[in-house]
A and B are shown apart, each in its own frame.
Chain A
Amino acid sequence: MLRSSYLCIELSPTRLEVAVASGRRVERSAAMELDSTEWEAYWADGLMPLDSTLAALLKRVHARKGMRADLFHDGPDTVTLLVSCPVTGDAALRAARLQLAEALPYPGTCNPACCSILSRDRSGDPPRTHVLAAADRDDRAQTLYGWLVRAGCRPNVIAPMEATLIASAARAALADGCGENDVLIFLGERQTVIAAGSGGNLRCLRSFDLGCDLLLEALVRALHPPGHAAPPTPGERERAREFLHTRGIPERDEIIDPSSGMRGSAVLPLLQPIIQRYVVETRQTIRFGMSHSDLSRVRLVLSGPGGRIPRLLELLSNHLDAQTIVSDDAPKFEAGACAASLRECVEHPINNLNLLPRSAEARRVAGVLAGGVRAGALAAGVLLAADGARIANERAKVERMIQANAPIIENIEMEAQIEQRANELAARLADAEASLAATLGEYPDWVATLRQVAAVASDDVRLLEVTGDVGRDGPALTIRGIARAGASEGQEPLSRYLEALAASPLTHSVQLASTRNTVMDDAPARSFVLRAQLHGMPHPIVLAREGKP
């Protein structure tokens, strides 16, 4: 996996070191020794005197412009605490913040302050949570921020060096390898941390401002030629550092500078008080911080950047009258290599511990928010575009279906029009046919009736007039004629004529309206008037309508 490299910078009163790291590994580094007596002056000038030094170091490690930079420093107003409290999570962080605010010599609200949960005891009732809390003055943080920006870096983390040392000590004390009687002494450049733990629980941890830089300063003063007005050069300081880590605390008669013949007795008075302070601080810590203060039962384990200073182990053991060993984890000094403290910062970074100035933090947060807004806008834009494309696609699909349905709909509409025309015509036709049926009414088949009337008349019956009409009671026929009188009753030609007419399928009924005796061809006869009701039938146009829809 590709890892982007970044800068890790350590700034202490005695040293400025720049390392290029990738992931959790230092790739290259460069350092410059500083005159600790100028420390206050550097800060007073906003660290501007260190601009050129930092630029030179950045050049040496081939740092790119705008490279991300994590700065670890020993600022004059930095406060670092380890707060152990029997709560967890946010409650632990709140408790740590409260304790930090109480410990600060300046207001905690308007200065950068932060807390990070380091670990939690494995047992206890309840188990304690260990929170690393740190704070700095905002103007100091701004100075550091401005210094990095001037050097062309992109400040990412500004954190106290002491925090890394405390975190390392706590981690070692909580490790399974830490025995019940072990007291870990982490000798840092500027601070020392004493910690004790057992079974995954941190029993005590104390940090105090006493580091091997003091031993270094003593050696620098001793090795600097007497009478020289000029301050010790970085080269002299580098040699003194190498001497401290390779030869350590000299013996009284040991020659420490062959050129001048200087012996250890010239240096020891400067180193002795410092060692004495180590002894006193260690003893006090054990007495007040541990449940048993019997040093004979305690095993001192030296670690940290100064853990392997030769003869320091022996001196502490003698003074404290306790078994003392050097931890296997104590870093070995290599001349010209990256300092152990800075390497620790790279290898074990502390999450969420950042003392960027509030304005920078605000700017960073604003940048993150602005980035979020832009990302949101972009996402919204993409979503809008995607939604628009989806809608357009869906609409195109629907339009295609509409187009495909259009001929069918056109056909349906045409059929509906035809249907409507048919319905209108059917209504007009039905109305007309009903009107015609009512107007034409029923009437007989006149021709057939007349032929029938003539056909059934014998020679004895003479028809004088036949009148047909369609009256209120339907079609009727009035027949006026003369019939011969019959020889006997029942032999009347008129009766036979009546019977024959009544039997006709064209007549409904036949009635004799009147008869009167008369003479026909000199023979007795009867003149008569018949009224025949006829069967009517509708007009052919009406008949054609019946049986049709």
Chain B
Amino acid sequence: MRRLILRRLAVETLVVGAVIAGGWFGLLKPLEARLATANARQRSQETRIEAARQEEATRTASPEVRLRELTARATEVDRQSRASGDPATLYDTLTGAAASHGVRIDRLDPKRRATSANRRPGSKTEIEAVEYTIIAIGAFDAVSRFVSQLEHEIGLTRITAIRMAPRPGDSPEEVTATIETSHYRLVRSLLEPDPKPASPAPTKRGNK
């Protein structure tokens, strides 16, 4: 009788204990875990907000303004690059400029150069250059204005050498100018993001 009562009590205690333990581990523990996760997320948010506030306090310009300024600069560089980089446009520009200043183009010899020669060590920027030898004939002032336009208005252009001599013969007022120019172009626009490095091709593994 006594043993029976004790056994029943033990079974009841075990069942109750199991139910409580089940409730604890099955319901409360996962709830607590979720709460801990939510707390961690909230703390992480607070930390991030605080860090952003501190960063904002030390920043002179907002990221939007900075990006706008940088984009404007990049656009300007790109524009100049395009002005001096496209051969057809460049030819038109050169001949147009000469005509506008009353200068005759006697010779216009383009010469392409490799892009790698213009790359700085460690730089990702690729610059393509086209060199021209221009023989222009005209009055000194007209040739001067033509050279000035070459220097300042045709994008990334550099005059590497110039030789000017009076034109012999019937036109003592005219000069013959031999101008060697380099016209540079950025191979890739600055507004294009950097190309992602190509991921290595997946290798096949044999099934064992």
Contact among A409, A428, A443 for B124, CB-based, below 8 A: A428
Contacting pair B38 A395 (CB below 8 A): yes
Contacting pair A395 B151 (CB below 8 A): no
- The CA-CA distance from A401 to B80 in the complex, in Å, is 51
Kindly provide the distance from the CB of B28 to the nearest chain A CB, expressed in whole angstroms: 6
A392 within 8 A of B: yes
Chain A interface size, under 10 / 10 to 19 / 20 to 34 / 35 or more? 35 or more
- The CA-CA distance from A446 to B71 in the complex, in Å, is 32
Contact among A394, A438, A468 for B35, CB-based, below 8 A: A394
Contacting pair B67 A421 (CB below 8 A): yes
Kindly provide the distance from the CB of A345 to the nearest chain B CB, expressed in whole angstroms: 29
Interface centre among A384, A388, A428, A469 (most CB of B within 10 A): A428
> Inside 8 A of A440's CB, which chain B residues have their CB?
156, 158, 184
Kindly provide the distance from the CB of B127 to the nearest chain A CB, expressed in whole angstroms: 6
- The CA-CA distance from A448 to B62 in the complex, in Å, is 42
> Inside 8 A of A438's CB, which chain B residues have their CB?
120
A259 within 8 A of B: no
- The CA-CA distance from A523 to B59 in the complex, in Å, is 74
B42 within 8 A of A: yes
Binary per-residue interface labels of chain B (94-114) against chain A in the complex, 1 for a CB within 8 Å, 0 otherwise: 000000000000000000000
Kindly provide the distance from the CB of B47 to the nearest chain A CB, expressed in whole angstroms: 11
B89 within 8 A of A: no
A470-B160, A541-B77 given as contacts; is B16 within 8 A of A431 (CB)?
Answer: no
Contacting pair A370 B186 (CB below 8 A): no
The segment from A46-54, A412-420, A498-506 that touches chain B is A412-420
> Inside 8 A of A387's CB, which chain B residues have their CB?
28
Contact among A402, A432, A447 for B148, CB-based, below 8 A: A447
A41 within 8 A of B: no
A388-B31, A418-B67 given as contacts; is B38 within 8 A of A466 (CB)?
Answer: no
Contacting pair A419 B63 (CB below 8 A): yes
Contacting pair A362 B74 (CB below 8 A): no
> Inside 8 A of B67's CB, which chain A residues have their CB?
418, 421-422, 425
- The CA-CA distance from A362 to B160 in the complex, in Å, is 115
A359-B1, A373-B9, A429-B77 given as contacts; is B41 within 8 A of A402 (CB)?
Answer: yes
Contacting pair B76 A376 (CB below 8 A): no
Kindly provide the distance from the CB of A375 to the nearest chain B CB, expressed in whole angstroms: 10
> Inside 8 A of A421's CB, which chain B residues have their CB?
67
Closest to A419 in B: B63
Contacting pair A391 B35 (CB below 8 A): yes
> Inside 8 A of A405's CB, which chain B residues have their CB?
42, 45-46, 49
Closest to A548 in B: B73
- The CA-CA distance from A380 to B190 in the complex, in Å, is 68
The segment from B18-26, B130-138, B196-204 that touches chain A is B18-26
Contacting pair B164 A465 (CB below 8 A): yes
Contacting pair B49 A412 (CB below 8 A): yes
B116 within 8 A of A: no
Contacting pair A539 B156 (CB below 8 A): yes
A395-B31, A425-B71 given as contacts; is B161 within 8 A of A412 (CB)?
Answer: no
- The CA-CA distance from A85 to B118 in the complex, in Å, is 115
Contacting pair B165 A398 (CB below 8 A): no
> Inside 8 A of B49's CB, which chain A residues have their CB?
405, 408-409, 412
Given pairs A359-B2, A401-B45, A409-B48, 20 additional interface contacts (CB within 8 A): A376-B16, A380-B16, A384-B24, A387-B28, A394-B35, A395-B35, A401-B42, A402-B41, A408-B49, A409-B49, A422-B66, A425-B191, A435-B125, A439-B129, A446-B147, A450-B162, A450-B164, A469-B160, A469-B161, A541-B77
List, sorted by A's number, 28 A–B pairs whose CB atoms are closer than 8 Å. Answer: A362-B2, A373-B9, A384-B27, A392-B31, A398-B39, A412-B48, A415-B64, A418-B63, A418-B64, A421-B67, A424-B194, A425-B191, A432-B77, A435-B123, A440-B184, A446-B159, A447-B144, A447-B147, A451-B144, A465-B165, A466-B165, A467-B163, A468-B161, A468-B162, A470-B160, A539-B156, A548-B69, A549-B69
